[in-house]
Amino acid sequence: MTEFETYPLLSDLEYKSWAESQQWYQAIKLRNGYVTKGNDFDGLRGKVLSDIDYKGKRVLDVGCNSGKYALAAKAAGAAEVIGVDVNKQRLNQARMLARNENLDVTFLNMGVESIAKLGQFDVVICIAVLTEVENVIGGLRALASCLKSKAIIEMGLAQPALSVSKNRSWWRVDPYVSRLGRTGEFQRHIHAGWVVYPSIQIVCDIFGRGFKVKHVGRGPRYELLEIDSAS
């Protein structure tokens, strides 16, 4: 069997046996009622994602892991769903789930920096990815380049109590980002090393005046942002 070959698991017992043989990051409910052993990250994140109207939409899940949210979008009536991730093992699990849940979802081995080539999407989901890559600003620009209508992003945001800078450019008037909004924090991530947490105003500026950025609240890991077309 090749690395990404999928095959049908005809009985519920066989399906459960396969699922139990895997190591999972997320808890995912399968067709037979079995729930994979993994983290339950629903809560506010799950509510925000389940409230989206996916019917007839083109959906992109960036950092899809084992496909939980991509598969849910397809099951909710999305016309086309693409999930991308850099972890080949998780993609293999996602493809197996898609095959055995009878859901037509495409899963690609791809990082956030390459998603622009996939075209534009009505809905973009990016959960706990940007805070774990080196080029956070580049990742945000990539998401903005392929977004048509709505995005849900969970990421780290800078929330400094006070910001002071000796950089003369910091004092210049910027019509889109306030002085206090032009801030970022460096935090050390266990896997990614030093990463940047931008302010929400910087995120707003990257997506541009055509989109409204709303801070929904604290997700299971980082802050949840809901981005909607202003038109």
Max intra-chain CA distance, the chain = 67
In the prediction, which pLDDT does 3 show? 54
Both tokens assigned to 227: 């981005």
- Taking alpha carbons only, the member of 81, 56, 86, 53 closest to residue 68 is 81
Residue 2 has pLDDT above 60, yes or no: no
Higher pLDDT, 188 or 61: 61
Mean pLDDT of all residues belonging to the chain: 90
DSSP 156-198: -----S------GGGGS--SSS-TTTS-EEEEEETTTEEEEEE
When pLDDT is cut at 50, 70 and 90, the band that residue 1 belongs to is: very low
Alpha carbons 214 and 224: distance in angstroms, whole number: 9
pLDDT digits (tens, 9 = 90+) for 86-120: 999 999 999 999 999 999 999 999 999 999 999 99
pTM of the model: 0.90
Residue 163 has pLDDT above 80, yes or no: no
- Taking alpha carbons only, the member of 87, 88, 86, 91 closest to residue 71 is 91
Average pLDDT for 158-165: 69
User: Residues 101, 71: contact at Cβ < 8 Å?
Assistant: yes
- Taking alpha carbons only, the member of 33, 48, 10 closest to residue 217 is 48
Average pLDDT for 114-133: 95
pLDDT digits (tens, 9 = 90+) for 52-80: 999 999 999 999 999 999 999 999 999 99
Domains and CATH numbers, the chain: 41-229 (3.40.50.150)
pLDDT digits (tens, 9 = 90+) for 141-150: 999 999 999 9
